[in-house]
Structure 1
């Protein structure tokens, strides 16, 4: 009798273990469906309906006079953009990368009716933080996580088609941030080449550039990463090949966001970002949800000294090649390249 009891206990135990194993995939599906999986991964995802509200003392606003002044600034930027798009024929939809609407890099937040084309190295870290907050990640988690902000965002903001983007724009504010094209390029070069994370994609890319573009008689003390001139020669070769896809950190903002064939309500600029982003936050009614961010600000030398130290080493041919590629970024967003050409002339190269 005791043998039978022991036997049936063993059978029942094995049955329970087998059942638990069989139900484990269903349990995981349940966790994912209820978004608890984010806590398992350490994401500390907060449901979008419970996004923390900023305390009143942390809320920043513009005065009515400032709002009116910034609004006029935005009108001038939109008007210039429209005029330049027409002047260069960029407002005609086509199949090439300059004329085909590109919705690939837009982040669409339907809950708060705000849409952003994420131009890398143009306050992108700052606004990726804000868009992750709007997606429900807690600010505390974002401050300490080692996860890539873009990867976190894409789990909440799926890619959209141009049709989906246009539909979302009907009741949303669409914005982008413009930056002096050569400032942006230098920032991207330093971040992705000079300070590349060891063994990362850009570290390996930099080594390939060195092998191909470094002259044999270069000083043995030359850096392991590409010099700015080597990097520029590589980039110009990329732009000459119609089938080359330019790295998202170096690509022209005009090609990336196609602002001549996709409507933008707000065009912020890196050089007036403090005031522009306050304007946008107020305009979207998000002043109690997100605060102005200024992450990854430059350190060390001031901007003009950095620009001089790098661009003065280029040849007139290299400078002209860069300008031809970024010409629309200069023209559409009212930047001048004159000082850069002067740097090359002063250097006598």
Structure 2
């Protein structure tokens, strides 16, 4: 009889202990989150080892650890990330000087053929020490661009456009898929298609070490295979937070937006449209042909039954004209059926400048100077350099010819459709295109 009373008592105590343990764990997680939100300048990043300037040129032991850590991040849960953060806090800050000493001196090479992939050692470039300050005009250029956005997004501004007054919490997760996060360096990049985004994605892959070749991260952005650059699985975006962090997602996004350096690149809205048309409809692109070109041909070119494939269409000399493309954009039914494709969706709808306070606003028109300036600000110009830009890209001087067959009323409607991009990002109204 005494035994039967003792056993239930032990079970009750065990159950109470488990409940207490679970509640205690939840409390500690919330406490860590609250504390993390307040550490500010300490720059504690999830998924990283706290150190000085990071680099992909690390000794093989570090590369292996980085590889394992990336794998664990992808497979882990929110609790695993909290554990990683606690370990960082307990371990303290690494000495960047020791990290440099462990590297191969500049110019020394290795016989890679005799090494196993996991033992491959990739030397880092020499540290760049900038003795001269960044030019005042470059700093002023950034101040002016950011101030213009701030002024037009202010509630005191008379300029209004859809989405201006919503909060960050009002933005659906699916509209945050252009914000790429690099936790190793504390960087957030909002990519805009047709604005050098291929090369900036290359840069982000190199910095985040999210892609390996022969067991080591890519060092040169131009070595990354083209078919992988735009692969969504390679980049960790805000849209993926909810899968990993669940209800903590928005809180973590706000922390990173507050602590990380955020940048985007933009270009003249009309020139961007010309570039999108040239790339997606003047070249054989099966996907864009079936999704968009067939619709344009049926609606605006009187082709009742367009060819089924882009190869057959181009062989027959059939393709939508630039005028058809503009008609498609101005058709009110277009966005009723589906949102604009990212290649012609308004830039402010991709990057939400009224809800996100960007630290750097680059322009394609000043790409080379802005890229150099930004990499210095990010302190990663010792790790990676921006690939050379193409000089044959679409330019604003072509606008007059491209819009020659577009009626003036359609041009005015098109400007109205993209007016927020023109004004927010400081592009002058193209008066020569809008008046008879």
TM-score, normalization: structure 2?
Answer: 0.59
Q: RCO greater where, 1 or 2, for CA within 8 Å and sep 6 or more?
A: 1
Which of 346, 356, 366 lines up with 1:252 in the alignment?
Answer: 346
Q: How does 1:164-243 map to 2 (within 5 A)?
A: 164-197=252-285, 199-202=286-289, 204-215=291-302, 223-237=317-331, 241-242=335-336
Aligned match of 1:317: 409
Q: 1:96 to 1:155 in 2, by over 3 A?
A: closer
Which of 190, 200, 207 lines up with 1:127 in the alignment?
Answer: 200
User: 1:61 offset after TM fit, Å?
Assistant: 6.4
2: CA distance, partners of 1:238 / 1:106: 28
1: CA distance, partners of 2:195 / 2:345: 12
2: CA distance, partners of 1:283 / 1:51: 25
Are residues 1:64 and 2:64 paired? no
Instruction: For residue 116 of structure 1, give the secondary structure of its aligned residue in structure 2.
Output: strand
8 Å CA contact 2:422–2:429 kept in 1: the answer is yes
Instruction: For residue 418 of structure 2, give the secondary structure of its aligned residue in structure 1.
Output: helix
Q: 1:51 to 1:306 in 2, by over 3 A?
A: farther
Aligned match of 2:223: 143
2: CA distance, partners of 1:75 / 1:141: 29
User: 1:62 offset after TM fit, Å?
Assistant: 9.3
1: CA distance, partners of 2:298 / 2:130: 52
2: CA distance, partners of 1:65 / 1:285: 12
2: CA distance, partners of 1:121 / 1:60: 33
8 Å CA contact 2:281–2:288 kept in 1: the answer is no
8 Å CA contact 1:120–1:248 kept in 2: the answer is yes
CA RMSD for the aligned pairs?
3.5
Structure 1, gaps ≥5 residues long: 1-29, 36-45
Aligned match of 1:53: 124
User: 1:81 offset after TM fit, Å?
Assistant: 0.5
Aligned match of 2:145: 77
User: 1:237 offset after TM fit, Å?
Assistant: 1.6
Q: 1:285 to 1:239 in 2, by over 3 A?
A: farther
Q: 1:174 to 1:119 in 2, by over 3 A?
A: same
Aligned match of 1:3: none
Which of 355, 369, 375 lines up with 1:275 in the alignment?
Answer: 369
Number of equivalences? 292
User: 1:94 offset after TM fit, Å?
Assistant: 5.7
User: 1:280 offset after TM fit, Å?
Assistant: 1.0
Residues 229-269 of structure 1 deviation map (CA, whole Å, 9 limit, x = unaligned): 00111111257645631101100001111100111111111
8 Å CA contact 2:187–2:261 kept in 1: the answer is yes
Aligned match of 1:157: 236
1: CA distance, partners of 2:234 / 2:168: 29
Structure 2, gaps ≥5 residues long: 1-67, 74-116, 212-217, 242-248, 304-314
TM-score, normalization: structure 1?
Answer: 0.72
8 Å CA contact 1:176–1:267 kept in 2: the answer is yes
